[in-house]
Every structure is written in C-alpha cells, then in structure tokens.
Amino acid sequence: MNQFPNSVPYPNIQNHINWCWAVVAKIVGISYCRNNSLPCRFSEDTSVCGVVRKDHCGLRSCVCGSCYNEITVDNVQLDIVDHAKDPIRNPDGNLPEDDEAKARALRYIVTGDPYDLSLNIVVAGLYSNTQDLLSTSAAFIDEAIGLGNPFIGNYLLEEGNYHSVVLFPISKWQLDLYDPWDGYKERFSKLQIFKSGFLTNQGKGIIKWIQYIRP
C-alpha cells in the first residue's frame, strides 16, 4: 500500500528552491510562442505524474508531486534546467543561475537550441544600479510593455538574495506581477514596480533589471 497518494507537481510554481529562473523562462517562452503563433516544444500542461528526480537536494516537497512514493517534479521545469543550466558551475542544476541561463532557457523553449542567438533577448538595467530602472531605462520598459508579451523582472529580496518574477503587461501603466515561488499574483502600477516599490509574500521589492524577447 502506498504511504502517500499520487499527486501532480505544481507546473508554474518552482519545484526547487533555486528554479525561479527556469519557471519564469518557461512562462515567458511559452507565452511568446503562443502570442506569436510559433511552434513550441512545450505546452501549458505537463504530464499527469511529472517525472521522478532522484536527486532530492533543494526540492520543495510542498509543491512537488508524488508517484508511487517517489517525489516527482514538473517535467518542463526539469527539462529546462537540464538543458539551460551552466554545465561547469552548476552540473547538478541545484544552484541559482544568472541572466545567461535565463537567456539560454528562453532560446531552448522557443527554438529548441539554448545557444541559438537568432532569438534576440534584451537585458535592460543592472542589479547594482543606484538609480531606479524607470529613471535609467524608461524606453526599454516601454518597449517591453508595448510588445504585449510577458517578460522577466529581477529584484533583490530583503534578505539579500536575487529573485525573478514574470511581468504581464496590462496597459501602458499597469502590469500583473507573478511570483513563481508561491503563485502570488497582483496588479501594480509601472511606477510601483520600477520606482517606488511593491509588496508580495516575499516582502518589499523593486525591479532592478528586466529581460524580454525582441522579435
């Protein structure tokens, strides 16, 4: 008899403590393909039972699944991690990743090749900027919003870690913010997100830099 009932992993909540980069790329990449009528190797749905990950280091059991008492993870998250992680610095896929990994993940989702440079991914802003992004990169923000596709926002948490979220343009002045840590979603003004700050379940934040696909 199974000790635990079978359950499905949460597909758009990071199944691992350090997989926010893969989940935001998943959401942004799949949405980009759908919005632009492009073929995509993934869909919004994942397999019923996910896939078993023998390496349990960093897994979040509260959002992972279970299949015959084995821990399962969202197969798309794991596939993105396996193909877009840094093979030298992060061979097991358990460590946080940087902007280059998010770019590789987007390229993998959209083109099937994490190193296909034909996909133009724009990075605007820098974590170390002393000025807010709205003051330094307003034109890039407006372009990302104007394209109408979800894009990646990155910010510094109060405890000192960096975190990635998805920003969904609603209008020229409003965006929905989605946090892959717990599925939190809320609508904020452009001013709040990029200048005055916002509040999620993770605490206070301000987006310091963004990444988006430029067609």
Q: Which CATH class is domain 120-214?
A: alpha beta
Length of the chain, in residues: 215
pLDDT-derived band at 2 (thresholds 50, 70, 90) equals: very low
- Domain edges within the chain: 20-111, 120-214
Q: What is the pLDDT of residue 176?
A: 98
Phi and psi at residue 97, in whole multiples of 5°? -120, 170
Alpha carbons 57 and 176: distance in angstroms, whole number = 32
pLDDT-derived band at 42 (thresholds 50, 70, 90) equals: confident
* Average pLDDT estimate for 179-188: 98
Segment 98-112, tens digit of pLDDT: 999 999 999 999 999
Percent of the chain with pLDDT over 70: 94
| Alpha helix positions (H), 85-193 | 99-111, 133-136, 138-147, 190-191
- More confident site: 199 or 157: 199
- Are the C-beta atoms of residues 97 and 163 closer than 8 Å to each other? no
Mean residue pLDDT across the chain: 93
On the question of pLDDT at 119 being above 50, the answer is yes
In order of 32, 90, 140, 143, the CA distances from 214 in angstroms are 10, 28, 10, 9
* Average pLDDT estimate for 186-205: 95
